[in-house]
Amino acid sequence: MREPVTREGGSAAQRTARLLRSLCRAERSDEGSITPLTIGFASIALALILLAALITDVWLAHRKLFALADSAALAAAESFDPAPTEEPGILLTDDGVSTSARAYLNAVDVSPRYSDVRLVGSSPDGLSAHVDLRATYTPVLLSPFSATWIELEASATVRGALRL
């Protein structure tokens, strides 16, 4: 008995054989494009590199703000008034600490990336200068991974001492 011939030309067995041959060729073939895969991995790598650069930039900006706060507190601790006692001593006031710290910040070159710099100076015990600095920082890399501004805060306390 013969197999029926279909419209596509050939019997069902012939069509099955052709299908199997094409599947075997497809499995052995290395044809195709890895360009989409390469583009995908490159874009992920680029995004990670930009994110790492942004995090590093913000971390360094915070360290610089802390250095400014520390230097302002040191300048404020060195601008003391003599204590009104019989023994030599120092006296720091809240107003004196704030004024000296502001004068220091006006004298140094603060990066233009810091905007809206706010300073709060105080002397908790009359012997120490405490400075709080807050600033709005604009990152170098404005990217989809960050806001256009980041609020940073740094505090420093320096103890004043008088040595004779």
Question: What digits encode the pLDDT tens for the residues 92-125?
Answer: 889 989 999 999 999 999 988 888 899 999 998 8
Residue 41: the pLDDT is: 96
* CA-closest candidate to residue 64, choices 129, 153, 147: 153
Q: What predicted TM-score, i.e. pTM, was given to this entire model?
A: 0.71
Q: Which whole-number Å values give the CA distances from 61 to 66, 75, 77, 112, 140, in the listed order?
A: 9, 21, 24, 12, 10
Instruction: Using alpha carbons only, give the angle 132, 138, 139 rounded to the nearest 5 degrees.
Output: 115
The residue ranges of every structural domain in the chain are 58-164
Q: What pLDDT is recorded for position 106?
A: 92
Q: What is the pLDDT of residues 116-150, one digit of tens each?
A: 899 999 998 888 999 999 999 988 876 555 566 88
Tokens linked to 161: 């001492």
pLDDT for 120 equals 94
**139 phi, psi to nearest 5 deg:** -65, 155
The pLDDT assigned to 146 comes to 59
- Calpha distance 137→58 (Å, rounded): 8
What average pLDDT does range 147-162 have in this prediction? 85
At 27 the pLDDT is 54
pLDDT at 164: 60
How many residues would you count in the chain?
A: 164
What's the CA gap between 87 and 81, in Å, rounded?
14
Q: What amino acid occupies position 70?
A: D
- C-alpha span between 43 and 153 (Å, rounded): 33
Which residue did the predictor score with more confidence, 2 or 128?
128
CA distance 67 to 116: 17
Instruction: Give, in order, the Cα–Cα distances in Å from 36 to each of 32, 47, 107.
Output: 10, 16, 55
Instruction: Render pLDDT for 15-47 as a digit per residue (tens, 0 to 9).
Output: 887 877 776 665 555 566 788 889 999 999 999
